[in-house]
Amino acid sequence: MDQGRTHRIRRRLLKGGHFLGLFLAMSIICLPGLWVVLNSFRPTVEIMAKPPVWIPTELNLDHYRAMFGGVGEGGVPVLTYFWNSMIISLTSTAIALLVGMAGGYAFARHRIPGKAAIFVGLMVTRAVPGVALSLPLFILFGRIGIIDTHFGMILVYVALNVPFTIWLIDGFFRQVPKELAEAAEIDGCTRWQAFWKVEFPVARAGIASAGIFAFLTSWNEYALASQLTRSLNSKTMPVGLMDFTSQFTLNWGGMCALAVLMIIPALVLTFLVQKHLIAGLTFGGVKG
């Protein structure tokens, strides 16, 4: 009996320890985000206060109002940036997914000599920092005249995302047994139907996560966008953040407000995609 009790106590302590550890880790991860959200609602004096004010005394929407206001009063063309970001991110994600699916499927289903080397090659392209790419790209894009266009940015982000989407989607398709497609073919499908009616739906949760990944990469990318976008034609939201810096001052509150506006669509999209595509999917069509 006694032994059972000490065992129980130890289990409870262990659980409490886990909880505490998780809480600390999550605080460290979440605190900057929370701070951004908080700052977007606080007057500039409070943001800049030293020592910092932890518990806000006043919350208002001044920064948001100013942001959407006229150019003279700290306003920025939020809607245009938002629109540019959306078009560029969604289009490049869609294309990267299509290429990723074609490539990933081919890698997963066919014996391709030198596959490991090709994958390392794909990853190496991603090891080059964006800033290092930005100057050559700037010159190249300048020559062919696609600087400051949606097309140019979409091209860059597709190139950025394709290695990862291929790599991720290859992994997901390899988890789908090839007998599923064979069964579908015997059941009367063409090769094409077998893919879309069986293999794709079974792998779609994985493909969706690759899509979220590609979307977030494009949505948040700054290093390349800051060089290759010049004006309202194509400036994306991360680049728009720099509108709040001027030679001698930094409008922290405005920046935080725009950052919050950036976070929201990304959160909503991620949530929707996950809920819609991943919920209700159960595996087990084949014996493990």
Partner 1 sequence: MAEVVLRDVVKTYGALPVVHAINLDIAHGEFVVLVGPSGCGKSTTLRMIAGLEDISGGEVRIGDRMVNDLPPRDRNISMVFQNYALYPHMTVRENLGFSLHIAKRSKPEIAKAVAEAADILSLTPLLDRKPGQLSGGQRQRVAMGRAIVRHPDVFLFDEPLSNLDAKLRTQMRVEIKRLHQKVGTTIIYVTHDQVEAMTLADRIVIMRDGHIVQIGTPLEVFERPVNSFVATFIGSPPMNLMPATVTGGALRLADGTALPLPPGLSAHEGQAVQFGVRADNIMPEGHSLPPTAHMAHVDMPVTLTEPLGTETLLFGTLAGTEVQAKMLNPRPVRTGEVLRFGIALDKCHLFDAETGASLRV
Instruction: Map the footprint of partner 1 across residues 176-235, applying CB under 8 A.
Output: 177, 179-180, 182-191, 193, 197-198, 201-202
The answer to the question of residue 111 lying near partner 1 (CB under 8 A) is no
Least separation in angstroms between residue 97's CB and partner 1 is 19
Q: Could you say whether residue 58 binds partner 1 (CB under 8 A)?
A: no
Cβ nearer to partner 1, comparing 56 with 201: 201
The residue among 51 and 288 lying less far from partner 1, judged by its C-beta, is 288
Task: Tell whether residue 274 is a contact of partner 1 (CB under 8 A).
Answer: no
What is the contact mask toward partner 1 in residues 142 to 181, using x (rule: CB under 8 A)?
A: -----------------------------------x-xx-
Q: Which one, 19 or 283, has the nearer CB to partner 1?
A: 283
For the chain, the farthest-separated pair of C-alpha atoms sits apart, in whole angstroms, at 82
Q: How many residues bind partner 1 (CB under 8 A)?
A: 25
Return residues touching partner 1 (CB under 8 A).
Answer: 177, 179-180, 182-191, 193, 197-198, 201-202, 281-287
